[in-house]
Structure 1
Amino acid sequence: MDVPPTVQDEQAVSRQLHSLSVRNLAHLAAALTQLGFELSRSSDPGTRQAANAFIGQLANINQDIDRQIELLSALDADNVGFRLLDEVQYPDAPE
């Protein structure tokens, strides 16, 4: 006989789902930012300019992701059982 999930179980699953979603968004933003830095090394001035604008837009997206992580932490997301963040080092942008 199946036992219906409790409210706490549903909340834990919801927190885990939100945490995974934010983590995936953070990984996607990191990959796109890395792509932007690679494109900023192009010899084509138009590509470099577009890459720099792209990196700026991703900085705004990353700020929103950081806010989501803070909100999840407020929901005690540490009890979900995995890390929300992976530290990523970006290369310096060429001048």
Structure 2
Amino acid sequence: MANSPQAKKRARQIERRTEVNKARRSRIRTFLRGVEEAIESGDSAAAKTALQAAQPELMRGVTKGIVHKNTASRKVSRLAARVKALG
């Protein structure tokens, strides 16, 4: 447990930051799920629009430090390939 004032403050900051990061991660997953569902339904137009919405969200996660750059690129690449295969 934190004893010094600085350690206590850092613990509070980490707690708040964790909540923000959870929300961001959840938001990214929601967008990715939207793309997945559009692909599953076989709707090419919906899949394209969902991917266009998900891509900046994923990259925002990279800039915020939620997702690694290569991970985001890999996810976008694989989803784009699956969307392209639909149409």
Into which bin does the TM-score normalised by the smaller protein fall?
A: 0.5 to 0.7
TM-score by length of 2: 0.56
What root-mean-square deviation, in Å, do the aligned CA atoms of Structure 1 and Structure 2 show? 2.9
Q: Taking structure 1 as the reference length, what is the TM-score of the superposition?
A: 0.53
Give the equivalent residue in structure 2 for 1:50: 49
Question: Cα–Cα, structure 1 residues 49 and 69, in superposed 2: closer, same or farther, change >3 Å?
Answer: closer
Structure 2 regions of 5+ residues with no counterpart? 69-74
Structure-2 change in CA distance of 1:64 and 1:40 (3 Å): farther
Q: Distance in 2 between matches of 1:69 and 1:52?
A: 17
Cα distance, 1:26 vs. partner?
0.8
Structure 1 residues 1-95: aligned runs within 5 Å = 6-65=5-64, 67=65, 93=79, 94=82, 95=85
Residue-by-residue CA offset, 1:11-50 (whole Å, 9 max, x unaligned): 2111121122112211221122111221234444431221
State percent identity of aligned pairs.
7
List structure 1 runs of 4+ shifted beyond 4 angstroms: none
In structure 2, what is the Cα distance between the partners aligned to 1:9 and 1:53? 42
- Answer 1 or 2: higher relative contact order, Cα 8 Å, separation at least 6: 1
Q: CA deviation at 1:69?
A: 7.4
- Bigger radius of gyration among the two: 1
Unaligned 5+ runs, structure 1: 71-89
CA distance in 2, matches of 1:47, 1:68: 26
Aligned pairs, number = 70
Q: Kindly indicate which of the two structures has a greater share of residues assigned to helix.
A: 2
Native 8 Å contact 2:24 2:66 kept in 1: no
